[in-house]
Amino acid sequence: MEDTTTNKQISSPTTTVAALRLFFHDYFVDGYDTSILVSSTRFSKSERGYPGFSNRKGSGIGIPDSLPRVQGHGYRIHCRNIASMTSKPVRNQSFAMINCDDISYFKKILGERGVVLEEEKLDDANTDWMRKFKGSSKLMLQPRSTQEVSQILDYCNSRRLAVVPQGGNTGLVGGSVPVFDEVIINVSSMNNTISFDKDSGILVCEAGCILENLISFLDNEGYIMPLDLGAKGSCQIGGNVSTNAGACALFDTRTFLSGISGLEVVLANGTVLDMLGTLRKDNTGYDLKHLFIGSEGSLGIVTKVSILTPPKLSSVNLAFLACEDYTSCQKLLSEAKRKLGEILSAFEFLDINAMDLVLKHLDGLRNPLPSAKHNFYILIETTGSMESHDKEKLESFLLQSMENGLLNDGVLAQDVNQASSFWRIREGIPEALMKAGAVYKYDLSLPPEKMYNLVEEMRERLGTAANVVAYGHLGDGNLHLNISTRQYNDSILSKIEPFVYEWTSEQRGSISAEHGLGLMKANKIHYSKSAETVQLMAAIKKLLDPNGILNPYKVLPTSILSQSGVDEP
């Protein structure tokens, strides 16, 4: 029996899920959901989360005993998968393995240069930026045109070769590297700027353009890229689109998302979708480009992007500030929105643990406010067109905030170099965390007034076992909660998860504000999205990628995809 079950599991990886569901359905008549025993989400309450249960702080054991009480209290529980919440992926055996004929075919269409087989290069491409996720792909392809991407995908789809689209490989959720032996399709060689319209500010470029190069190109033209982030030296515009990246210096109308005016995308079967509109307004039918923005390479490969870029404004000011407590940071944010209005372009925070970490691990940085230690640091940036007016406005706001006790200390950058050294402190935190050892990274959208409670609760839970570091885009309600330890450790992880996801779900927050779900959170999507929404996403995936070859095991729970018939042989 064991052999039969093992073989069935190997040939059909959904067996475990199906067996679990079958078993629990005997218990939970009427489609009661076993996943509620594992963790609460905003959409369904777990056994543990239910206040009447004695084992509420336990691990959700005691299923049969507690069942009548769940029913007795009339909870409507949806039918989902216990395994989707708990399991690690197994290789989908319906995917083929690469062979010599495949390599010959790829060499024929891409030439020797576009087919990478060298171990060292593959090792880099198989490993993510955090060195936490590692695949074992034996092949990386580097197409130079949309046509080549189309030929690759057409072939891979017909051969059922799974693929991972890859840009600069700076993603933080394990989405950009293979899980097993998927073929890596790296678009770095597609790095041409195609056109720039000096009147409309519309830039059209290939997906492999490095963000920093686009920023400099636009700067020379008197325009700005509506996206700037710490990884700009490596990340690519196709990757930015595919993760729907967020940034520090952003507010409302200047968001990257609103700047994307068109895309060219290659679907799993090689079809090229030309949605590369350069019009400011276009209401003909569904705006399909949005499907691909933030889809993390699971619906298609982005090959070209058109972006509406705003003109560069002459006056940019940056202040580095200190607050005594989190409530002051929050009050400062609402005052800044009110008093600085349209010129407020960034509001970032870091706590003392983040500051200490950066100063300890990054060379050449100094504390701009060295006279005393402060619990919180804030960066406020303004962007406008009236130099003296904007500066005066910011200065008077800061003075007032100092007088009414919201600010402890602060300094205004005197020139561009000083401004970039201030930004380096904030943007250097991810790098400093990597230098400190292992890091558990959470990227959460939360109501700003609740945000720091989570950090404090986490500190209480973990005690001296870890350094809990908090920073983020406070202006966007985006907390980066990072738990830094010497090395990865399951007992620490079990104190963090699912607590962090449950906490976020209870606040109606998002478990991914900007980094995406990738591999890390594919099975956690239920904490932020309803079952119906996830089902619709799976249906869209099935429509666009019926064989499931694009970035498998990522974004959506594998179990839900197989229920929807994606990747079934």
Considering only residues 316 to 355 of the shown chain, the ones binding ligand MLT according to CB under 6 A are none
Cβ at position 280, least distance to ligand MLT in Å? 29
Cβ at position 256, least distance to ligand FAD in Å? 9
Find out whether 10 and 58 touch, Cβ atoms under 8 Å.
no
Considering only residues 478 to 537 of the shown chain, the ones binding ligand MLT according to CB under 6 A are 480, 514
- 137 or 236: CB nearest ligand MLT: 236
Using CB under 6 A as the binding rule, whether residue 175 contacts ligand FAD is answered as yes
Residue 319 binding result from ligand MLT, ligand FAD, none, given CB thresholds of 5 to 8 Å by partner type: none
In whole angstroms, how large is the CA radius of gyration of the chain? 25
In which order are the strands placed within the sheet that holds 202-206? Answer: 193-196, 202-206, 301-308, 260-266, 272-275
How far is residue 208's CA from residue 176's CA, in Å, rounded to a whole number?
14
Interface residue with ligand FAD among 16, 169, 328, 563 (CB under 6 A) is 169
Cβ at position 514, least distance to ligand FAD in Å? 4
Beta strands 183-186 and 193-196: pairing type? unpaired
How far is residue 535's CA from residue 397's CA, in Å, rounded to a whole number?
48
Using CB under 6 A as the binding rule, whether residue 246 contacts ligand FAD is answered as yes
- 175 or 368: CB nearest ligand FAD: 175
Using CB under 6 A as the binding rule, whether residue 302 contacts ligand FAD is answered as yes
Report how far Cα 112 is from the mean position of its chain's Cα atoms: 34
- 82 or 513: CB nearest ligand FAD: 513
Cβ at position 416, least distance to ligand MLT in Å? 21
Instruction: Supply φ then ψ for residue 11, to 5 degrees.
Output: -75, -25
**Binding-site string for ligand FAD from residue 120 to residue 139, where x marks contact by CB under 6 A and - marks none:** ---------x----------
How far is residue 466's CA from residue 355's CA, in Å, rounded to a whole number?
16
Cβ at position 90, least distance to ligand MLT in Å? 30
Find out whether 458 and 468 touch, Cβ atoms under 8 Å.
yes
Residue 480 binding result from ligand FAD, ligand MLT, none, given CB thresholds of 5 to 8 Å by partner type: ligand MLT
Strand (E) or helix (H) holding 10: helix 2-11
- 82 or 474: CB nearest ligand MLT: 474
Residue 267: which residues within 8 A CB-CB, separation 6 or more? 153, 273, 299, 300, 544, 545
How far is residue 359's CA from residue 355's CA, in Å, rounded to a whole number?
6
- 264 or 514: CB nearest ligand MLT: 514
Part of the chain binding ligand FAD (CB under 6 A), chosen from 239-247, 411-419, 496-504, 556-564 = 239-247
- 221 or 431: CB nearest ligand MLT: 431
Considering only residues 181 to 210 of the shown chain, the ones binding ligand FAD according to CB under 6 A are 187, 207
**Binding-site string for ligand FAD from residue 260 to residue 299, where x marks contact by CB under 6 A and - marks none:** ------------------------------------xx--
**Binding-site string for ligand FAD from residue 513 to residue 542, where x marks contact by CB under 6 A and - marks none:** -xx--x------------------------
Beta bridge partners of 163: 183, 550
**Please, what is the end-to-end C-alpha distance for the chain in angstroms?**
24
Considering only residues 394 to 433 of the shown chain, the ones binding ligand MLT according to CB under 6 A are 429-430
The conformation of residue 43, written as its DSSP 8-state character, comes to S
Interface residue with ligand MLT among 135, 168, 226, 230 (CB under 6 A) is 230
SS3 of 142-175 = CCCCHHHHHHHHHHHHHHCCCEEEECCCCCCCCC
| Cα dihedral 131, 135, 137, 143 sign | negative
Find out whether 518 and 510 touch, Cβ atoms under 8 Å.
no
Strand (E) or helix (H) holding 483: strand 478-485
Cβ at position 153, least distance to ligand MLT in Å? 30
- The SS3 call for residue 376 is strand
Cβ at position 313, least distance to ligand FAD in Å? 21
Interface residue with ligand FAD among 77, 231, 354, 432 (CB under 6 A) is 231
Residue 166 binding result from ligand MLT, ligand FAD, none, given CB thresholds of 5 to 8 Å by partner type: ligand FAD
> Please, how many CA atoms are within 13 Å of residue 228, restricted to the half-sphere of its CB?
20
How far is residue 471's CA from residue 484's CA, in Å, rounded to a whole number?
13
Part of the chain binding ligand FAD (CB under 6 A), chosen from 170-178, 218-226, 333-341, 359-367 = 170-178
Binding positions for ligand FAD, rule: CB under 6 A: 129, 164-172, 175-176, 187, 207, 229-231, 235-236, 238-240, 242-243, 245-247, 296-297, 301-302, 430-431, 514-515, 518, 551
Binding positions for ligand MLT, rule: CB under 6 A: 230, 429-430, 443, 480, 514
